[in-house]
Amino acid sequence: MGGGKRFAVLLCAEDSDYVKKRYGGYYGVFINMLAEEGETWDVFKVANGEFPDDEQIGRFDGFVITGSCNDAHGNDVWICELISLLKKLDSLNKKILGICFGHQILCRALGGKTGRAISGWDIGLASIHLSPSSSNIFSSLKIPTTLSIIECHRDEVRELPPKAEVIAWSEKTGVEMFRYGDHMMGIQGHPEYTHDILIHLIDRLRQRTLITDSYADELKANMGKVEPDKDAWKKLCTSFLKGRL
């Protein structure tokens, strides 16, 4: 099924004890969603300064950039190094899928702008509307034009890179998804997340006083039993990353 392809996760976050125990870290969460039989997957902990060298880059068919607690508009050493890597991957026409922070840093590396979201935190289940042009891109997948996804961010893409195209939006965020050529795509939401991961993150944000107790309680109360459209997102992400669109 996978045809012996190789992929790498560029891990931009520190694993919490909960995610380590339950899923084997965020790398495990992405493997659950994206990996198929016959493929090889590796991880580079870029937030800890672990990057692939040129020889390693050549071995991979595609890369996935994860979420992060850091700001994509920041200038930490590893973030600047990641931007350089993404520019190199673009020049090599490698497939890149950016998720949340990954979506934002990909935008920045390609010449766009990111920053704090004007509307503040966006946490919980959101409805994402695929643009008319994306209907053509994803037509073979036979997925709905409106999809639910888990969001957890306070930054956003403010200005797209030249030649990039918005392919999805929501009421709160103008650029929920973008594509750049046929080899790079960003998704602001978290197609890999489940309800339990989101609840865990809400608790972590509360502990770090990044959100108030009342807001955390309100978020949990409003979550309900509705799950995101995980099957559709899995189909979309794997088909893009593996060149099946």
Active-site annotation holder among 12, 103, 190, 237: 190
Active-site annotation holder among 100, 107, 152, 237: 100
Closest CA to 73 of 15, 45, 112: 112
Only one residue has tokens 């189909």, namely: 235
Rg of the chain over Cα atoms, rounded to whole angstroms, equals 17
Strand partners, 5: none
CA distance 216 to 202: 6
Verify whether residue 69 is a known catalytic residue: no
Tokens of 146: 């409106």
Verify whether residue 100 is a known catalytic residue: yes
The dihedral sign for the CA sequence 90, 96, 97, 101: negative
Active-site annotation holder among 151, 156, 176, 192: 192
Tokens of 26: 């965020």
Verify whether residue 195 is a known catalytic residue: no
- Positions marked active-site: 100, 190, 192
